[in-house]
Structure 1
């Protein structure tokens, strides 16, 4: 008699079945066949593909089609659309009748549905893991490890976002509770702002700070200083960061915040130089050329030591698409925390598909994705944008919503649209001949607008529009508050 060989633990592992629960599937299907209300309790997150047994997938999908058509799904109505024989000596009619006879109550339907869904996600995770291993073993020359990591992250995040069962309607009392909690936080926060303070007093006054889940578009023509304003806000928020532990061991931001900065145009070193120049009050061009004396160098070192403590994270990878950006933002939120995200700038992002023959459609995908990301992560997102050249053809160069470049989706998806405008830039290029009467008039106008910038709120969903005047020191690339005595007279339209 042949000896029966025992399987070693490793061999047992190779024969493991994927996680599943046939009994839970049978109980849920039975509940649906007895009371179609059970289907509505799970249909917003549970799909046929989540069932382990192929015949259970088929039964669930057939029941769903019958119920959505306004009819009643029972063992009798469902069997018409299913194969007659299940296995030898078991007909579909008998099997459906048995499911109905052993059904759970409709009250348990959600719990069974969630169990089936969770097991399906675990099976998908196994597939993603196996694919990662296979790709790592047999990668070709063009497939870098970084690309494999990004692909794996995309699969994981797609898995996390597809068919979540924690959404749906909430009672108005829950929404009211959140609104009162936000008002309470604003009451106790410095400056009584409902959002994150930018450090620019008049901008905060009109906007109430940067609101969670808002997509804020910051647009301007080149050389207006939009990147400088973004870096100023980023550093102000990061410098003011304070957090306190919650009862569950997490850290809750109580002031300022952790900032993520996607710099698609400039390198991290160039951004750091700008912020260093602003804080140390030394010209950024002098820092780059090394044109500084010993006391300035000491100031640079002291300033950089202080700056190194702030939670400001820069990603200067060029050529990112919207899917990669979203994956990296989620990763930063998970690993370091995230309270503000800045993207410099919108037109350098690409869509997730490789086809880019329709730029308007691609930009619509990008802005829609950024708005969804802001809501998902519950952080404000500031996306910088260029304006079209038609601004230069007008006598009045002040930007308008119609000047947003390439797509109406930017204006449509944005909660707030800010424009940066400096009269000084345009007036400087119109200098008349020195010594002429026109030159004296020009000089007087230049004195009025020198070192000043306007931030125009062109759109705001939950607040007023208007114009804020700021001080701008070009050599330090710094925006700051104006003293009240320095304000220009109100502009007459």
Structure 2
């Protein structure tokens, strides 16, 4: 609903700049790729100009240059020539500007008008939704923040760099790494064999941890997140979409204190364990670990909240437990297509925030009882393409059957099946189910 005082106002635009930008492109067709940094056909307010620019772009994509003849022919093929005013209007455009020298300036003016119209439309939409008591205020604010961010970022960062710019940046990074006291280039997970293989979790990476149910995905992710927050002093975000935050904290406390998690959950703690529990609680109380407890969170809300956490808490790693519980905005899409879109969005989020994003994933039922492979990732083959690192937790059921029932641990394999910038391989871990805790075989050198 648009306020009455605004209904009669013409939306922001500059018709002269629109015509000048098109006239300049006709004078200099080689300027099209430069203008495409700023503009798309929908950025033009006057329909005739929108039709003309669409045809110019279509010719550019075909490798042809726009002039009075080719442009009229293309618009005729698109069925827009008459609606735009015919060949006479195209000829008029070349008279609108003396040269193409200021074409990018004209394009920026057109873009400015488009942004202002987008803001007006967003304001009207949000105003209408704000009157709906059925929409939570927090969701309303998140949606507003998300759309403002999209408007501000749209086409602003699409550019290129020369190697003259990239070489100094790269040398600075190498110099920084050479002076670092850490042997790893990313945030260590706390398992020496894994960290030796990956050199830690790196910025802009999408890391997938897959397993069948009850193998310990959440426990492993929590162990890694706790190590990063407690021992690496990294700020960590953890989206728990399956487990309430209090239950998650029970697991963290049991793991840190090495106390039976069932006893922690039920409150049946031995007096001798109280001090260990208090010490663990004290350490976790100070940890820069931020938990989001929202079942079936929408992808839009997840991205919006992740940006807030980066801005407000400077999170350095983000965990999502787990990927297929994220809700896509378009529920009409096939499930595999929704998961593909979510996977791509998480990779884009990792690049945008320049942090590793770690997403847990269920494996297909067919993976039960056998060593998992990337083909076992559930509901989407695109996860395999989008991910920089893919790991699987796996237990050999035959070995598990032969284990003494009194054994406190279960041997577990962590398989690094894909690593875009490093080797693949396997790491042997021990899972202590009573403590919901994974430890390295060589516990003395483990960060856990």
- Does the pair score TM above 0.5? yes
TM-score (norm: length of structure 2)? 0.84
Note if 1:34 corresponds to 2:31. Answer: no
Structure 2 contact 241–322 (Cα < 8 Å) conserved: yes
Residue 243 of structure 2: SS of its match in structure 1?
coil
Partners of 2:142 and 2:173 in 1: CA distance = 35
Give me the whole-angstrom Cα distance separating, in 1, the residues matched to 2:323 and 2:181.
32
For the pair 1:51 / 2:48, whether they are aligned, the reply is: no
SS of 1:315's partner is strand
User: Deviations along 1:37-78, whole A, 9 cap, x unmatched?
Assistant: 222211244012213444433443343344444444345765
- Provide the rounded CA distance (Å) in 1 between the counterparts of 2:361 and 2:332: 22
Q: How far apart, in 2, do the equivalents of 1:372 and 1:11 lie? A: 40
Give the whole-Å Cα distance in 2 for the aligned partners of 1:486 and 1:93.
74
Is 2:103 aligned against 1:109? yes
Corresponding residue number in structure 2 for 1:385: 361
TM (norm. structure 1) is 0.77
Query: Could you tell me which residue of structure 1 aligns to residue 121 of structure 2?
Result: 127
Partner residue of 1:342 out of 285, 305, 319: 319
CA, structure 1 residues 236+161, in 2 after alignment: closer, same or farther (shift >3 Å)?
A: same
Residues 33 and 100 of structure 1 are in contact (CA less than 8 Å); yes or no, is this contact kept in structure 2?
no
Distance 1:22 1:483, change over 3 A: same
> Retained in 1: the 8 A contact 2:192–2:445?
no
Tell me, in whole angstroms, the C-alpha distance in 1 between the residues paired with 2:32 and 2:234: 43
Judged with a 3 Å threshold, the aligned counterparts in structure 2 of structure 1 residues 229 and 190 are, in CA distance, closer, same or farther, namely farther
What's the counterpart of residue 140 of structure 2? 148
Asked if structure 1 preserves the Cα contact closer than 8 Å seen for 2:208 and 2:360, the reply is: yes
For the 8 Å contact 1:237–1:257, the answer to whether it is kept is yes
Partner residue in 1 for 2:240? 263
Partner-residue secondary structure (3-state), 1:261: strand
Q: 1:84 & 1:408 partners in 2: Cα distance?
A: 45
2-side partners of 1:290 and 1:153: how far apart?
42
2:268 counterpart SS class: coil
Q: Which moved more, 1:43-52 or 1:261-270?
A: 43-52
- Residue 115 and residue 304 in structure 1: after superposition, are their counterparts in 2 closer, same or farther (change >3 A)? farther
RMSD: 3.5
Larger Rg over CA atoms: 1
Equivalent residue for 1:247? none
Q: How far off is 1:378 after superposition?
A: 1.9
Counterpart residue number, 2:78: none
Cα distance in 2 for partners of 1:479, 1:58 equals 61
Higher relative contact order (CA 8 A, sep 6+): 2
Q: Residue 334 and residue 15 in structure 1: after superposition, are their counterparts in 2 closer, same or farther (change >3 A)?
A: farther
Mapping for residues 132-211 of structure 1, pairs under 5 Å: 132-137=126-131, 139=132, 142-160=134-152, 162=154, 164-211=155-202
Q: Does 1:100 align with 2:97?
A: yes
- Unpaired runs of at least 5, structure 1: 1-9, 242-255, 432-441, 488-493
**Size of the alignment, in residue pairs?**
437
1:25 aligned partner: 18
Deviation readout 1:271-290 (Å, 9 max, x if unpaired) = 11111222223222222221
Q: Compute the displacement of 1:205 (Å).
A: 0.6
User: What per-residue deviation string (whole Å, max 9, x for no partner) do you get for residues 118-177 of structure 1?
Assistant: 33212211210122112223x2x6444344344434533443454x13213333444444
Matched residue SS, 1:100: coil
